[in-house]
Chain A
Amino acid sequence: MDELGVAPLESRRMVKESRYTLAFQDLLGGVNKASIWSVLGWQDIKQRYRRSMLGPFWLTISSTIMVAALGLLYATLLGQSIQEFIPHVAAGLLVWIFLSTMILEGCTVFISSEGIIKQIRLPLTVHVCRMVWRNVMIFLHNIVILLCVLYFVPQINILDLLTIPVAILFIALNGIWLGVVLGVFCTRFRDIHQIISNFVQILFFVTPIFWKPELLEDRGWIAIYNPAYHFIELVRSPLLGKGIPVFSWSVTMLLTTVGFMLAFVMLAHYRHRVAYWL
């Protein structure tokens, strides 16, 4: 065997490679094929905004309108100061959209690539990366809003702000395992997608986006046990000048590790079955 793992022809027998090796190759190889997923992901966005003058900047505009309208509405309803509330809503909502869209699109990630999967041998992770990349691009269009919102923040800590790009990358990384796990599950069991979309809807309301966790008082566990809250905090806390959330970073890192282990096991056992389930 040479370094490529290829035996010379004469002594070659059909060796079965371990399914774990194959799963690992799928994950790594998929992420490596950036030339494919970046082109396809960007194409998805271009396709969505074809023939519109502002193109993808509609993303920025609709998010701005949503943040402004809902921020004002809820600040009034809950009797909060607008200056304090708008940045809170902006950061919360934008990260939530990023995360929840990855969860929902993760469910259909293989189903919507059926044509490619049935014809061309590509690591499954490529299709997941395409979805994640598309959502990263959308989030980057919205980042202007976060910059504007800084205007309302009284104390800005530049060093803390620098962790935000890392946090965004980190959330995107989580999109990969979410897409693999949910994608495989939802391809096999078509009901799961419905269950997940209901679940995401509920999750939205129990996550402190339009309200502050301080409101919970002795029911603080609702936020503490909510992974979405911690992911949002990674971006929101440094943005609002509240420092780097060490606890949230620990929770989400743990979750990422467990998530990738789960994705790895799923790929090892079901990677080769996905094409058959489509």
Chain B
Amino acid sequence: MSASANKPTPAALFAAFFQIGVTSFGGGLVAYLRDEIVTNKGWMSEDEFLAALEIGQTLPGLNSVNVAIIAGRKLAGPAGAIAAATGLVIPGAVILCILGALYVRFHNNPDVAAALAGIAAAAVGLLLQVTLKIGAKQFLKLGDLLFVLLTFALVGLCHVSLPVVLFLIAPVAIILRRPRKEAAK
């Protein structure tokens, strides 16, 4: 780990991640994290960050929170991991507390209900766009597309429980992509 000459304290980590937690409206958190950790603070090199992201994406949990845990641990140990993750999550949680209290109080008001319906309709569009963008490669390959549709049908339409799908379908998908001796594709 050569590029981490300046190691932050847990307090500095908390402050940096808290700032991201306050300002990162509209998703795309990983980009915010990269800008802060790599570009602004120089705490990690680009490669170190990408390695952390790779782990964070593969393991369960939110990518952004996982990256915060990994970066926090590498930079300042267990206290750093806690500082980074809580800093990232707390601002949004506080704002959602307020939104939640307002929601419980006003969601039957016709004006609010109409606005909420519009917000929810727009959020579906956002999720669809993110899915199509991330999945562009999978939608274009027949083998992958079959797994996309199978998973969608089982979980979305038949309500097969997620653990069942993950333990039945995922091993098949992974074995089909098993390492080959000569790189086939």
Q: Do A and B bind each other?
A: no
Contacts from B to A (Cβ < 8 Å): none
Which residue numbers of A lie inside 8 Å of B, CB to CB? none
